[in-house]
Amino acid sequence: MNEVVIAGVGQTAVGEHWDVSLRELAFAAMEAARADAGGLKPQALYVGNMLGAALSRQSHLATLLVDFAGLQGVEALTIEAAGASGGAALRQGYLAVASGAVDVALVLGVEKMSDQTVSSVEAAAATGTDADYEAEHGLTLTAQAALLMRRYLHEFSPPPFALAGFPVTAHANGAGNKYAMFQKAIKPETYQKAGYVSEPLNMFDVAPSADGAAGVVLANPAILPEDFGHRRVRVAGSSLVTDTLALHDRPDPLAFHAARLSIERACAQAGLSPADVDLFELFDAYSIYAALSLEAAGLAERGQGWQWAQNGALTLTGKMPIATLGGLKARGNPGGATGVYQAVEATLQLRGQAGGNQVEGARTALIQCLGGPASTAATHVLAAGSDPA
């Protein structure tokens, strides 16, 4: 298979973009990524989107976007895998370039949520659960995460506020990211005083739904000029794994089986273990998901993921930095665009372009996004190559 490098990245600020349409938001990220890649023209576009049809009344999105961007005639597909849509689109772009089917692929993640009421967004997002046995009975993604957290607290008895370190770390890092929705650090006491959203999840345990678009240009390095202006970042490992859609069909709902397998396979392809990477952009849509993701990665024993949130190991200078530019919690949760934002942020880290949020000496990154409670898990390993000549 061909080597695949990230030739360009681009993103919009995450927030409430009342005055921008879905296509305009997407176009801004597409243009930024292509400009960063020196104007490379893609032969294929893969769009990660979760709720465009439900909230923006727009399906056939990828075709709309190549039309709007003046790229008519290229292959274009929309990929939907709930919160893992962006990672799934990245997987398809990787496979297209690695196989030799195309030399250049543009991967885009875009989501527009602010145009609808909170209840409408919740109802639309719930379509990513089992319609007959979960959504039909009023179960939302947030309520689902609350059930998992309650079970976790019951089964493992961590101390009070054991998960506080996850959002505290994310907000500290978000303060240095100009693209983040929330650019202000919070204190542990602030977390402790926050009201409940769905008990035991409080306001800071839940990432805010938001608008945003991010893009990466994937390329076969053989076509890049010798004077290509960025440190080469290659996709060293890629995997997508699924589990049961409904939580009640799993023998152990606290074991993110698909997340574990996806990490194992991506890391095996890259020739390293999760403990070897320099940073981990995990899926912290809910604090409990961060703990369970660390456990799935084998970085923490079962029921012990919360300990990583209490000893400084997850900070920019810690043993395993996470959410280095704010994660979902502070950057905001742009639904199906999340996996592409993670790729953009990890690439900036590996290029040494993360500014005040730079993880010193970062050369490898693990990124993972989840659809539902790891019903779909898309994982990639990125590795830095040589600096430009």
Residue 188 forms part of a structural domain: no
* Structural domain total, the chain: 1
What is the CATH classification number for the domain harbouring 354? 3.40.47.10
Residue 276 forms part of a structural domain: yes
- DSSP assigned state of 76: E
Provide the β-strand partners of residue 201: 198
Burial track 90-118 (b if 16+ CB lie within 10 A, e otherwise):
bbbbbbbbbeeebbbbbbbbbbbbebbee
162 φ/ψ sector (left φ>0, alpha ψ -120 to 50, else beta): alpha
What is the reported pLDDT for 199?
96
Burial track 297-330 (b if 16+ CB lie within 10 A, e otherwise):
bebbeebebbbbbbeebbbbeeebbbbbbbbbbb
Residues in CB range of 127: below 8 A, 6 or more apart? 54, 135
Residue 261 forms part of a structural domain: yes
Residue 125 forms part of a structural domain: no
> Based on the number of CB atoms within 10 Å of its own CB, is 273 exposed (0-12), middle (13-18) or buried (19 or more)?
middle
What is the reported pLDDT for 388?
55
What is the reported pLDDT for 172?
98
Residue 221 forms part of a structural domain: yes
Please state, in angstroms and rounded to a whole number, the distance separating the CA atoms of residues 60 and 76: 9
Please state, in angstroms and rounded to a whole number, the distance separating the CA atoms of residues 332 and 213: 12
What is the reported pLDDT for 230?
84
Residue 16 forms part of a structural domain: yes
- Would you write out the chain's pLDDT as a tens digit for each of its 389 residues? 999 999 999 999 999 999 999 999 999 999 999 999 999 999 999 999 999 999 999 999 999 999 999 999 999 999 999 999 999 999 999 999 999 999 999 999 999 999 998 999 999 999 999 999 999 999 999 999 999 999 999 999 999 999 999 999 999 999 999 999 999 999 999 999 999 999 999 999 999 999 999 999 999 999 998 888 888 999 999 999 999 999 999 999 999 999 999 999 999 999 999 999 999 999 999 999 999 999 999 999 999 999 999 888 999 999 999 999 999 999 999 999 999 999 999 999 999 999 999 999 999 999 999 999 999 999 999 999 866 54
Residue 122 forms part of a structural domain: no
Instruction: Supply the range of the domain harboring residue 51.
Output: 5-116+208-384
What is the reported pLDDT for 55?
93
Q: Residue 184 CA to chain centroid, in angstroms?
A: 21
Residue 354 forms part of a structural domain: yes
Strands 104-111 vs 212-219: parallel, antiparallel or unpaired: antiparallel
